[in-house]
Structure 1
């Protein structure tokens, strides 16, 4: 089988269906009304494989400067800029930007520029920037991300189906022994009598053994004799959006479930893996929060959408050779449960 795959497919296209809840029309975080996604990709075909991904809630306006939100750190080995203020106030006040570890601080400065442009009188801003370390395939010390790259991702964000795999902040990432990247998924359900959408977007870059619907699929089995060389740890950033009326405490419960879902795909949660989830709601503030007793289906929607987003991040990625000639192969489809139909 040709491992240099270019025509890639999402999990459902391969017959890998997670859970029983229906997806949204795009099966993406952008199924949550008003949530946009933009990418800027840097790929020179040699030493640079990196970029920026921006999650932009349109509900953040001059009239509404914050959305209920929460952060959960499964393992705090990372640089999640702006997280402590979210913890303290339970509010997201900016788009969420994802990038490479050593570029997180330049990205935060660029995001401040974006926020200042939207509020000429403001004197304090809380930019939220997450990261994973793409230094295995990209020359991370060059810190190629500039303000222009961040602003392009923010300004180009749209409500269509986001690109997945080797794009934006996922251009140089690896996970579970294979090339990974950006993935997304969504679920639709009824909660307390009202329709609700839950969407997830992930930046996958963590260790472990790929597990698909409960079946471990080590690299040495899927690609005999060509196990990928990769770092044991690294990280995962997960962004969960919903239109369910929830408070910050309840959103923290969703964020925890998002991290739990990593275990379904075989995450090792290693020492060096910074695993974070950010959950926010776009629901109008006038709505009454969903009772805790009605949250079980929302928890299921988060777990299922994150699991599928993680699989999409791998299945949509392509084999990449990067800095130092290191190569990380894409997941081959013919050994997947269902035969990669």
Structure 2
């Protein structure tokens, strides 16, 4: 790895003129109360993790919309699927009821069951009294992308304990990006991809709010890659992943906000992630699982089963004020994908054996943007 690639920097730190105003951390943790944790498994760092011929490069990312609140407090939510070759649990209820309770976990395609088991275990332990005394059921959100090119995915290395470790490590503050958590083994536009995040702040009626994204980026082929409107991928065709004529990956986008929004508005917000990833060049390939979820931490209240109330009241943003919110989501997703790529590091290929999945070279990107007059 070159010295340039060792000193990984996020898109803005590299000087890319990203649009919009980010929050203090430029991360999903800029939304008050939202915590993020991760647990990474890498046999390149710990050889004892490898049990067969292929390396282990995977993990779990946890997003806690209500942090470690002592009571199970729902968040209002909406969900959108651009291309459905993937899994995101709990979405049937989100589409019907417009809310969910508990953590969001991101992992690999074959780790969904164990991650779901771990999230359920945590909910039963953390909310022990409500679950003991009432007929409640846990339906956490678990989403996945495929990491079998860099990881022994069929070795089923992700366990419920790893999911619990990711949840228990959740914290405010900067979010680890690139080769971390569920993003450890992911590939983006045939460069090393993974976990990325970004945020935008906006003012509505004199009040300050945040819209933010976290992505697990594992999508796209090299010729599609576009940065700030410049088709850089066509000029970065070296070190492509072998035997990859079509898109074989996916992307999960989680959007969070403290804006008071209805489930219908959040559903529409989730759709805007489509535009965010489209700015990077992907059309949403046939083999891709492009799954998006948006939630709001506003209008907090108990689970309907526990409230004992026949009525509930809430406030919501006027639809006429949604345009800047949509733009904040688009910009956050676009920048999150770039941060995932710029913060990633080289990883050896598992299949086909031999070779390296290279991290993107920021200097090459910057040079192409300069030539196009964008930097």
Tell me the TM-score normalized by structure 2.
0.86
1:287–1:191 CA distance, 2 compared to 1 (3 A): farther
1:108–1:4 CA distance, 2 compared to 1 (3 A): farther
For residues 41-74 of structure 1, what are the alpha-carbon distances to aligned partners after superposition, in whole Å with 9 as ceiling and x for unaligned? 0000161110000001226745453110011011
Q: Is the 8 A contact 1:60 1:94 kept in 2?
A: no
Query: Alpha-carbon deviation of 1:302?
Result: 0.3
Determine which of 189, 202, 217 is the counterpart of 1:176: 189
1:32–1:125 CA distance, 2 compared to 1 (3 A): same
Q: Is the 8 A contact 2:29 2:174 kept in 1?
A: yes
State the distance in 2 between where 1:61 and 1:108 align: 20
Q: Is the 8 A contact 1:92 1:280 kept in 2?
A: no
- Determine whether 1:166 maps to 2:179: yes
- Determine whether 1:30 maps to 2:29: yes
Matched residue SS, 1:13? coil
Quick check: which one's strand share is greater?
A: 1
- Structure number with greater Rg is 2
Query: Alpha-carbon deviation of 1:181?
Result: 0.6
Query: Alpha-carbon deviation of 1:83?
Result: 1.2
Matched residue SS, 2:272? helix
- Determine whether 1:78 maps to 2:86: yes
State the distance in 2 between where 1:228 and 1:192 align: 49
Matched residue SS, 2:315? coil
For residues 249-272 of structure 1, what are the alpha-carbon distances to aligned partners after superposition, in whole Å with 9 as ceiling and x for unaligned? 000111000122111001131111
Q: Which residue of 1 aligns with 2:210?
A: 197
For residues 147-196 of structure 1, what are the alpha-carbon distances to aligned partners after superposition, in whole Å with 9 as ceiling and x for unaligned? 21111110110101011001111111001121101000000001233211
Within 5 A, what are the aligned runs for 1:1-341? 2=2, 5-19=5-19, 21-45=20-44, 47-58=55-66, 61=69, 63-120=71-128, 121-122=130-131, 123-208=136-221, 209-218=224-233, 221-222=235-236, 224=238, 226-229=239-242, 230=244, 232-285=247-300, 288-323=315-350, 324-336=353-365, 337-338=369-370
1:111–1:63 CA distance, 2 compared to 1 (3 A): closer
1:271–1:116 CA distance, 2 compared to 1 (3 A): same
Query: Alpha-carbon deviation of 1:7?
Result: 1.6
Query: Alpha-carbon deviation of 1:326?
Result: 4.3
Query: Alpha-carbon deviation of 1:3?
Result: 8.4
Query: Alpha-carbon deviation of 1:2?
Result: 2.9
Matched residue SS, 1:304? helix
Unaligned runs of 5+ in 2: 45-53, 301-312
Count of residues in correspondence between the two structures: 338
Matched residue SS, 2:6? coil
Matched residue SS, 1:12? coil
Q: Is the 8 A contact 1:255 1:277 kept in 2?
A: yes
State the distance in 2 between where 1:179 and 1:292 align: 38
Unaligned runs of 5+ in 1: none
For residues 264-323 of structure 1, what are the alpha-carbon distances to aligned partners after superposition, in whole Å with 9 as ceiling and x for unaligned? 001131111000111000113465200000010000100001100011011111111032
Tell me the TM-score normalized by structure 1.
0.94
Query: Alpha-carbon deviation of 1:82?
Result: 1.2
State the distance in 1 between where 2:363 and 2:122 align: 45
Q: Is the 8 A contact 2:110 2:156 kept in 1?
A: yes
Q: Is the 8 A contact 1:192 1:294 kept in 2?
A: no
Q: Is the 8 A contact 2:299 2:315 kept in 1?
A: no
Q: Which moved more, 1:327-336 or 1:302-311?
A: 327-336
Q: Is the 8 A contact 1:67 1:282 kept in 2?
A: yes
Q: Is the 8 A contact 1:114 1:151 kept in 2?
A: yes
